[in-house]
Amino acid sequence: MIVVAGIWIGVLLLGGGYALDRVLSRTIAQNFDQSLENVLKAMIGASEIGPEGEVRFTRPPADQRFLEPYSGAYFQISGEGQEIFPSRSLWDRRLNVDERHNDVDLHKRDSFEFEGEPLRILERDVILPGSEVRWRFQVAQSRDAIDSQLAELRTTLIYSFAALGLGLLVMAALQALYGLWPLRRVRREVAAIRGGTQTRIAEDFPREVEPLVDEINELLSHSEAQAEEARRHAGNLAHALKTPLTVITNAATAHAQDLNDTVIREAGVMRRQVDHHLARARAIGRRASAQARAKVWDSVHAVERAVSTLYGSVTIDTAGDKVAQVRVERQDLDEMVGNLVENAAKYGHGRVFVTVEAPSDGRVAVLVEDDGPGISPEQRQELFKRGMRLDTTGKPGTGLGLAIVRDVAEIYGGTVELGESEDLGGLLVTLSLPEATQGG
């Protein structure tokens, strides 16, 4: 910030200094030329033709420097075929006369015809009354005075702008250091949190930094909540695996005759528990993404194709809103809808109806109906228990489908409800999820 401020200040001061130098230099030069022009006009006004046809003054020049040799102020009047009328200050020198141009209008020029003395010359051609000769009036003055003024002006500008630039740079540096100093304190607080000496940023900060501090504290709270949730799930998984492992160990120690069946049965239980907790862990990890969104109809269509291939004798009808979106990762939405539709196809009598309802009150509902035997209201809550199966026909299943759907839905702020299908007579499962708006 300080380097950028220094570069910007330098550019502005250089540009402003150059513009100011041009304006002041032009003003000094114009004043210098104006004084010479006034002298030239006075010379022309005081000139007349003498008896011999020569030029003479009716009154002497007021500037005494015209009388002092090499004083730096000179004039000269010349005409074709006429004797030159110089100022005494020229002494033995004469101003050059360029006959190639006609100076009816005022002509200004710089000249270096005198060694070591640059001149500023104003000249004009005039025909005086009583004479047909075109007289060239010239007035000249050494540029030492104007050059010294310009040099003094530029020196003053350089020192002034250098002091101004240094002052602005110091002020910018102090402002940057003072403005960013609270961030150093934030860094120290974060280092203290990492070192374990504190859990939150508690120091008071300026209003400009408070939003950052609040967000960091919220992030810490979120991280702690996720860590606690992970520890809880790890404990639950360990507890869920402990019983099957104990059963397998006891059977192996006792050399039980049905050891093979026991290992297969308990391994299946452990696999179901692992699948369940992995699904929850994936959903929790994806929930952190604020951009999570999925189109419900795409998931329904993909699941319908997959389940139709798996259960060829089942007819799956789909209907409803085709543009609704929910704030859920696509993979998790596929898993929830897939579990519901597969269960309906597996335990129904060949008909499944999936409906996507239009968003209402910020939520989108997916209704899955089947023509199976249905479930009594007393048994519906039992289905959400892990490993609970009401089916006794021996069809393959984990007993975790609805439990996983409910847990994943709750992670995203959704719900799962069981009811009775009015059209097909079987089970009605309503999956409700938060709507994702089209623009956000």
**How high is the pLDDT of residue 69?**
93
Q: Which of 151-155, 303-307, 380-384 has the lowest mean pLDDT?
A: 380-384
Residue 398's pLDDT band, with cuts at 50, 70 and 90, is very low
**Residue 84 token pair:** 């030159």
pLDDT band at 140 (very low <50, low <70, confident <90, very high): very high
84 Cα distance to chain centroid: 76
pLDDT-derived band of residue 104, with 50, 70 and 90 as boundaries? confident
Q: Give the residue with greater pLDDT, 258 vs 351.
A: 351
Query: What pLDDT score does 355 carry?
Result: 95
Question: Does residue 392 register a pLDDT over 70?
Answer: no
CB within 8 Å of 368: residues ≥ 6 apart: 337, 340, 341, 344, 352, 353, 354, 428, 429, 431
pLDDT given for residue 407 in this prediction: 82
Query: Is residue 390 scored above 60 in pLDDT?
Result: no
pLDDT score, position 255:
83
Upper half-sphere CA count for residue 61 (Cβ side, 13 Å): 23
**Res. 387: pLDDT tops 70:** no
The residue that leads in pLDDT, 275 or 335, is: 335
d(CA 320, CA 366): 9
pLDDT for position 319: 94
Q: What are phi and psi of 327, to 5 degrees?
A: -85, 65
What pLDDT shows up at residue 428?
A: 93
pLDDT: which is higher, 383 or 109 = 109
pLDDT over 50 at 404, yes or no: yes
Q: What pLDDT is attached to residue 385?
A: 57
Alpha-carbon span 185 to 179, nearest angstrom: 12
Q: How confident is the model at residue 400 (pLDDT cuts 50, 70, 90)?
A: very low
The percent of residues above 90 in pLDDT, for the chain, comes to 38
Strand (E) or helix (H) holding 377: helix 377-380
- Mean pLDDT value across residues 108-118: 90
pLDDT computed for residue 284 by the predictor: 65
Of 11-25, 227-241, 314-328, the one with minimum mean pLDDT is 227-241
Which of 260-274, 297-311, 371-385, 409-423 comes out lowest in average pLDDT? 371-385
pLDDT at residue 365 in the model: 95
Residues 7-40: tens digit of each pLDDT: 999 999 999 999 999 999 899 999 999 999 999 9
Q: Is the dihedral of CA 14, 15, 20, 26 positive or negative?
A: positive
Phi, psi of 409 (to 5 degrees): -65, -45
Backbone angles phi, psi at 57, to 5 degrees: -95, 140
Mean pLDDT for the chain overall:
85
Which of 138-142, 189-193, 238-242 shows the lowest mean pLDDT across its residues? Answer: 238-242
- Residue 384: pLDDT band with limits 50, 70, 90: low
Please compute the mean of the pLDDT values over residues 75-81 and round it to a whole number: 89
DSSP-assigned states of every residue in 18-40? HHHHHHHHHHHHHHHHHHHHHHH
Mean pLDDT for the stretch of residues 367-396: 67
Tell me the HSE value of 430 on the side-chain side, using a 13 A CA sphere: 11
Q: Is residue 232's pLDDT more than 60?
A: yes
